[in-house]
Amino acid sequence: MQNPWWHSAVVYQIYPRSFADADGDGMGDLRGIIEHLDHIAGLGVDVIWLSPVYPSPQDDNGYDISDYQDIEPVFGTLADFDELLAGVHARGMKLVMDLVVNHSSDEHPWFVESRSGKASPKRDWYWWRPAREGMEPGSPGAEPTNWGSAFGGSAWEYDAASGEYFLHLFSRKQPDLNWENPAVREAIYAMMNWWLDRGVDGFRMDVIDHISKDTTLPDGALRPGTPYGDGGPHYLNGPRNHEFLHEMHQRVFAGRDELLTVGEMPGVTVDEAVKYTDPAREEVDMVFQFDHVWADRGADPWVLYPLRLTNLKAIFGRWQAGLAEVGWNSLYWNNHDQPRVVSRFGDDSPRYRERSAKMLGAVLHLHRGTPYVYQGEELGMTNTPFASIADFRDIEALGHYAQAVEHEGRSPEDVLTVLRARSRDNARTPMQWNASPQAGFTSGTPWLAVNPNYPQINAESAVKDEESVYHFYRRLIELRHEEPAVVYGDFTMLLPHDERLYAFTRAHGDTTLLVIGNFSAETVRAEIDDAAAWETAELLLTNATPPQDLVLQPWQAVIYRAVRR
Ligand code: NOJ
């Protein structure tokens, strides 16, 4: 079988709300994206993934969809969308849509109909259940299961009109669709085919490992310190998940060339990912796993732990080895749900921000898999110094604050410290285009404040400066396109016990690449075998003065190439 095109591709993610506002209402839009396509094409990426642009009450910034086959008026029209798609294709790139079908908005006509009464023909399109046996419907603790929702509170919402509850693993405005019902699946496949026929090139599938639930809906083990149980074991990677994705493949993807499909799968294991991405099983091309972005947290996501580099390397090493023969990795540091990586795993002080951002890019992009760049990552954008809870907009941050401060009596300052490090709003501050007011994002008032560091960190100055993070990312992407060892080389982790250096080789045919990243502000010598031989190898890329004797400066990255003759 021929290798698929996306093995050597790099994807750029746009979060439309925060990318570029063309009409001055403070919210990004499609025309804003159209105006900035050259910035993305200039990086050399192959694909754009667009976070949701569909009509939505915006309870979870568009991940709550009320019409799957139109465009949110704040973002534009279908005509704007077609123009955007044509502009992307004209620049030789592809466009992948976000597919959010674990749940819809409660304002979607399907749910409105479903909610209209127990006899509704669409009642069974969602998860409706009576109160716990022997309990008064609507009374505390009468929810059908003890599951907590991702954004705080119970995963069940009581509907007084019918006396039943509906399931929402995310907000109460995001009811879960019932994939057990074949009519639901047919409607979703029809919608997906409609977008592909319109010309889009694939889908990023939101929490797609949540679609099959254990239909007996058992209680979960209680989470310490909360009244809620962990339903995860009963809805993550459930009994029919593979079957549903294979059916989707047959009904939607089969016979269409050149698509890219990636399933977002919180909690997926390596073994399951091999199955999801084994081409012979015809499910998805690759998955987003979460292990590495959970490397600095424990069971409670709101407790901060320092990163142990050995842990991060063990995680990546396991994934690289696990998918070496069958399946394919996706690679990311950032997306709209993660804090900015340069603040998280690098050093965002003026002294080392650019150097550490480049080091992080080099290490990630030299792994085997398809790299994803999130808007602003190519500028080394940082977390934001949010002053108070009033500065946050994300439903997750606000929900956590209310739960922790108002219900659990924790200190507001402690909760804010965690939110400043972890909140998804760090990723969602407006894209920094230039040094003009509001970073050139909008002529109005942005929906979420611009990071005050935009006069120093912005696209205009980065594109002009050959030494910027932007041009370093451009070279990394170019290297992937030109050097087969980056795409196909066997991965071997070196120095697994070193807490400062991240080192590995990629070997393909007669070519071996050596990659070393210094994850510390110290000068460190890489004690690897054949150090002397590597010293004389070709240095393909570095972010500081070339090293002597493999002594790396703070946050330095090096990529060497040796060719056996
Ligand atoms: C994952 C998305 O990336 C996130 O932004 C969203 O809140 C949840 N899924 C629910 O759709």
Cα angle: 63, vertex 282, 127; to 5 degrees = 40
CA of 95 to the centre of ligand 1 (A): 19
Q: 13 is written with which tokens?
A: 């993610």
Which residues participate in catalysis according to the annotation? 206, 264
CA of 284 to the centre of ligand 1 (A): 19
Q: By the 8 A CB rule, do 67 and 53 touch?
A: no
Q: By the 8 A CB rule, do 106 and 60 touch?
A: no
CA of 481 to the centre of ligand 1 (A): 31
Write out residues in the chain with pLDDT < 70, as ranges: 1
Check residue 349 and give its pLDDT: 98
Q: How far apart are CA 295 and CA 502, in angstroms?
A: 15
Where b means 16+ CB within 10 Å and e means fewer, 199-231 reads: ebbbbbbbbbbbbbbeeebeebeeeeeeebbbb
Q: How far apart are CA 429 and CA 355, in angstroms?
A: 22
Q: State how beta strands 370-374 and 128-129 pair.
A: unpaired
Give, for ligand 1, the residue of 63, 173, 208, 235 to mutate: max count of ligand atoms closer than 8 Å to Cβ. Answer: 63
Report the nearest atom of ligand 1 relative to the CA of 102: 11
CA of 399 to the centre of ligand 1 (A): 14
Nearest-CA residue for ligand 1 atom 5 is 337
Helix 182-198 × helix 241-248 angle, to 10°: 40
Task: Give the H/E segment covering residue 42.
Answer: helix 37-43
Check residue 1 and give its pLDDT: 58
Q: What's CA 455's distance to the chain center, in Å?
A: 27
Report the nearest atom of ligand 1 relative to the CA of 264: 1
Nearest-CA residue for ligand 1 atom 6 is 63
CA 89 to each of CA 12, 40, 46: distance values in angstroms, whole numbers, following the listed order: 14, 13, 10
Supply the pTM of this predicted model: 0.98
Q: Which residues line ligand 1 (CB under 6 A)?
A: 60, 63, 100, 170, 206-207, 264, 336-337
CA 181 to each of CA 106, 173, 184, 185, 244: distance values in angstroms, whole numbers, following the listed order: 18, 21, 6, 7, 11
Q: How far apart are CA 9 and CA 6, in angstroms?
A: 5
